[in-house]
Structure 1
Amino acid sequence: MRILLLCSSFNGLTQRAWLELRRAGHDVSVELAVSEQVMLEAVALAKPDLVICPFLKEKVPTRLWQNHRTIIIHPGPPGDRGPSSLDWAILDGEREWGVTALQAVEEMDAGPIWGYRTFPLPDEPPRKSSLYNGAVADAAVELVAEVAAKAGDPGFTPAPLDYRRPEVRGRLRRPMRGDDRELSWEEPTEAILRRVRAADGAPGGRAALGGLAVRVFDTYRGPALGGEPGVIAARREGAVLVNTGDASVWVGHLRLERQGAVKLPAAMVLGDLLAEVGERSGYSEITYDRSESVGVVSFDFYNGAMSTDQCRRLAAALKYAVAQDTRVLVVRGGEAFSNGIHLNVIEAARHPELEAWMNINAINQVCREIVACTSQLVVTSVGGNAGAGGVMMGLGADRVLLREPVVLNPHYRTMGLFGSELWTYTLPRRVGAEAAMRLTGEALPIGAAEAAELGLADHVLSGSRLEFERQVLDYAERLAADGEYGRLLAAKVEAREADDARKPLSAYRAEELAEMSRDMFEDRSGFRAARQAFVHKRKPSGTPEHLAAHRDMASHM
């Protein structure tokens, strides 16, 4: 079947839908909905049997849905309507939520239903971005496959939206406004968490902090301190601890309420206002735990971005873990495994090029700690998506374990960078030189199953995130207890020494950095403009050529 994905951005959910449909054998092309004219032009060129909109903020043109079956994937249960569905679900403390596939009609979210999924929401209010990239994305991908199958069935008829049906329990909700996102530090911690997380990653909760009007993101429960609400009580690793009406809350990220401001670690935004604020434990982006034979370095960086400071701390944690007497080291990422260098921090720096240079050197040290470890076997636990240098960082381990829904983007091209993180060593080592050049050149996402087929990963594990992490630990314990462990470690040492004799890691690093210096300081491939477009969320002017297959075909006709 010829399918056109019409979307506002080629985000994680759209990528998963694209991968699922292609793996099922469909001919899939993508068009970014930059204008009504572009959308209509896309269907004229693609001549699709079906149009699916996995993530679309714009209204589908009337002429499009009247002439082409167009299915909207809406992040709400049957009957739910409106653009702020997940925001309201989190803020109102819904116990169950869902995703609905419905046919586009004149009235938004009111078309016939092709299918739906429901799932429970946790007691702890989830971050909107976590919910979207987790349960919502899982349900949406299932629905996309179901819609494609039903579209091929001439006997299928979608069910009209009928609020008398028991499964249709949603309602039309107005868009969430600015005052709905206002928070007061005098509120209980629970209320603050729910309001902020209903707006995280965008647009954030609105508040005043340290005399500044800010947007608040990335919040966690803190201890009961008994201080005045709104007072900054402590700081740690870029986060600040703020007193609330009944306890306190850790705030990881802020953005000033002014034009062009960038979301940054809270301590960076507050700057000199924290001169008299002391450090306090209770918050950490990096932890180390161990059993008798397995050590685990866990890191969880907001949105997978790794700043210079974060990379230095992670490299230090890895160095400590490598020096321990464990037999296997697990390197475990967070909600997003890693997306490489921290573009927001780079863009906000006084000298962005210099900050980018320091950042790439710092993340290279993380990669070197993983690759050069010869005292233990290293396992990377990739439970969340990874991109660019974050993929390459994970490939440095002896074993790479992926969770089934994970999407990898093993390339740098879209950001105008050659790339570093020792990728010229780790990627060809796993997939061969030809495949390495194809992956980095095509700049397309890779699903977990394909990653295993290519050799990017050793095992793909299913189950929830918690089940996945348990399976990784079980795998690491079995590896440590394996009677062949000594032989495996000796073979690793021998291979590392042989590789180093042919070409040391420092040579790969030097060659990569020579290329990166041209990208960062001379801007030979548009890194500055690509970075600024990403950081400031600028709307693209068109669809990248490598995604819009229908346009490529038309140009060759």
Structure 2
Amino acid sequence: MRELAESRGIPVMILESFRAGGALDALAAAAPDFFAVVSFGRIFPPEALALPRLGCVNLHASLLPAYRGASPIQAAIVNGERTTGVTTMEMAAELDAGPVYLSERTPIDPDENAGELSERLARIGAPLLVETLRRVAREGLRPAPQPPEGISTAPTLRKRDGLVPWDRDAVRVHDHIRGMNPRPGSFTFLRGATLKVLRAAVADFSGPARGRPGTILEARGGTILVSCGGGAVRLLELQAEGRKALGAAEFLRGFAIEKGEVCG
């Protein structure tokens, strides 16, 4: 984004803090009509919110008031949501709690991961943000308060949040793997080493459970089948420490996994 802006003669300012290095004075000197904010990751102080003539508009990757916070895309997938969307809102002191201008809904594909959904929401959100700014400037569009019902949060994710919860049922395990990829990354442990799980699928599995959740039920012929708290999943793409990502068949040719071993 910085390279694109500079190539078109648009001034770029890197903010470490609003209160350091004369940042507020520099922003005020620009006499902005709007602040259009996307994935900024910082709370705007009241002095900054008051600077633009027509206000501060944020594009958020959820249907507010659901999934306020830093990881709305991951949270929607991990929680098994079938739809999500993007919302433009007037920024307020409380994170993602400002009144809403416009929103657009979209279904979540059952095999879509967080990275793929993020790219798709960006394509939906960009024109929605432009439309919001245009209508506020030309039509005086006013935002509506968020309803008090349906508020949920999506806090910042840490690396350890990617650990696969094998004790959940297979659908939820699959949702976790989709939701945590590519960031912070879904992983498990096998023989004490970290094993990244990049893609999986819910298995058509009706056999009796063997061992505790995380047990390898099958590892042959390109199939890696792992038991869950209910049902099982097939691991489709994995990455061992220091190795490149591989499909299951190729992975098994270079990494001998034994039936009965346990991921944890």
What TM-score does the superposition give when structure 1 sets the normalisation length? 0.37
Deviation per CA, 1:42-67, whole angstroms, max 9, x where unpaired? Answer: 62464432111122222223321121
Residue number in structure 2 paired with 1:59 = 43
Residue number in structure 1 paired with 2:151 = 171
> Which residue of 146, 151, 163 corresponds with 1:161?
146
Residue identity opposite 2:98 in structure 1: G
Classify 1:61/1:275 alpha carbon distance in 2 versus 1 (closer, same or farther; 3 Å).
same
- Work out whether 1:104 is the aligned partner of 2:84: no
> Which residue of 126, 130, 134 corresponds with 1:149?
134
Residue number in structure 1 paired with 2:179 = 198
Contact kept in structure 1, 2:32 and 2:51, CA below 8 Å: no
What TM-score does the superposition give when structure 2 sets the normalisation length? 0.71
Classify 1:111/1:208 alpha carbon distance in 2 versus 1 (closer, same or farther; 3 Å).
same
The 5 A counterparts of 1:77-92 are: 77-80=63-66, 81-92=68-79
The 5 A counterparts of 1:366-515 are: none
Deviation per CA, 1:151-210, whole angstroms, max 9, x where unpaired? Answer: 3226333223343xxxxx641325266676442446543222101111111112242124
Following TM superposition, by how much is the alpha carbon of 1:235 offset from its aligned partner in structure 2, in angstroms?
A: 8.0
SS of residue in 1 equivalent to 2:198: strand
Following TM superposition, by how much is the alpha carbon of 1:220 offset from its aligned partner in structure 2, in angstroms?
A: 3.9
Deviation per CA, 1:379-437, whole angstroms, max 9, x where unpaired? Answer: xxxxxxxxxxxxxxxxxxxxxxxxxxxxxxxxxxxxxxxxxxxxxxxxxxxxxxxxxxx
Partners in 2 of 1:251 and 1:42 — Cα distance? 51
Following TM superposition, by how much is the alpha carbon of 1:107 offset from its aligned partner in structure 2, in angstroms?
A: 0.7
Classify 1:188/1:234 alpha carbon distance in 2 versus 1 (closer, same or farther; 3 Å).
farther
The 5 A counterparts of 1:7-18 are: 10=1
SS of residue in 2 equivalent to 1:35: coil
| Structure (1/2) with the larger strand percentage | 2
- Work out whether 1:243 is the aligned partner of 2:216: no
Partners in 2 of 1:176 and 1:255 — Cα distance? 26
Gaps of 5+ in 2: 259-264
> Which residue of 38, 48, 55 corresponds with 2:32?
48
Contact kept in structure 1, 2:200 and 2:233, CA below 8 Å: no
SS of residue in 2 equivalent to 1:200: coil
- Work out whether 1:35 is the aligned partner of 2:17: yes
> Which residue of 93, 117, 131 corresponds with 2:117?
131
SS of residue in 2 equivalent to 1:142: helix
Following TM superposition, by how much is the alpha carbon of 1:96 offset from its aligned partner in structure 2, in angstroms?
A: 2.4
SS of residue in 2 equivalent to 1:63: helix
Partners in 2 of 1:272 and 1:53 — Cα distance? 45
Classify 1:50/1:94 alpha carbon distance in 2 versus 1 (closer, same or farther; 3 Å).
same
Classify 1:194/1:46 alpha carbon distance in 2 versus 1 (closer, same or farther; 3 Å).
same
Q: Which has the larger radius of gyration?
A: 1
Deviation per CA, 1:304-323, whole angstroms, max 9, x where unpaired? Answer: xxxxxxxxxxxxxxxxxxxx
Residue number in structure 1 paired with 2:262 = none
> Which residue of 252, 257, 264 corresponds with 2:237?
252
Classify 1:77/1:182 alpha carbon distance in 2 versus 1 (closer, same or farther; 3 Å).
same
Residue identity opposite 1:102 in structure 2: M
Partners in 2 of 1:276 and 1:255 — Cα distance? 12
Partners in 2 of 1:147 and 1:162 — Cα distance? 20
Following TM superposition, by how much is the alpha carbon of 1:117 offset from its aligned partner in structure 2, in angstroms?
A: 1.3
What's the C-alpha RMSD, in Å, of the aligned pairs?
A: 3.9
| Structure (1/2) with the larger helix percentage | 1
Contact kept in structure 1, 2:198 and 2:237, CA below 8 Å: yes
Contact kept in structure 2, 1:225 and 1:248, CA below 8 Å: no
Partners in 2 of 1:277 and 1:41 — Cα distance? 60
Deviation per CA, 1:341-399, whole angstroms, max 9, x where unpaired? Answer: xxxxxxxxxxxxxxxxxxxxxxxxxxxxxxxxxxxxxxxxxxxxxxxxxxxxxxxxxxx
Residue identity opposite 2:134 in structure 1: A
Following TM superposition, by how much is the alpha carbon of 1:106 offset from its aligned partner in structure 2, in angstroms?
A: 1.0
Stretch deviating more after TM superposition (101-110 or 45-54)? 45-54
Deviation per CA, 1:500-546, whole angstroms, max 9, x where unpaired? Answer: xxxxxxxxxxxxxxxxxxxxxxxxxxxxxxxxxxxxxxxxxxxxxxx
Classify 1:108/1:185 alpha carbon distance in 2 versus 1 (closer, same or farther; 3 Å).
closer
Classify 1:247/1:132 alpha carbon distance in 2 versus 1 (closer, same or farther; 3 Å).
same
SS of residue in 1 equivalent to 2:151: coil
Classify 1:138/1:186 alpha carbon distance in 2 versus 1 (closer, same or farther; 3 Å).
same
Contact kept in structure 1, 2:75 and 2:154, CA below 8 Å: no
Deviation per CA, 1:455-497, whole angstroms, max 9, x where unpaired? Answer: xxxxxxxxxxxxxxxxxxxxxxxxxxxxxxxxxxxxxxxxxxx
Following TM superposition, by how much is the alpha carbon of 1:273 offset from its aligned partner in structure 2, in angstroms?
A: 10
Partners in 2 of 1:94 and 1:129 — Cα distance? 16
Classify 1:247/1:55 alpha carbon distance in 2 versus 1 (closer, same or farther; 3 Å).
same
Following TM superposition, by how much is the alpha carbon of 1:127 offset from its aligned partner in structure 2, in angstroms?
A: 0.5
Contact kept in structure 2, 1:87 and 1:176, CA below 8 Å: no
Partners in 2 of 1:129 and 1:206 — Cα distance? 16
Contact kept in structure 1, 2:78 and 2:180, CA below 8 Å: no
Partners in 1 of 2:238 and 2:15 — Cα distance? 30
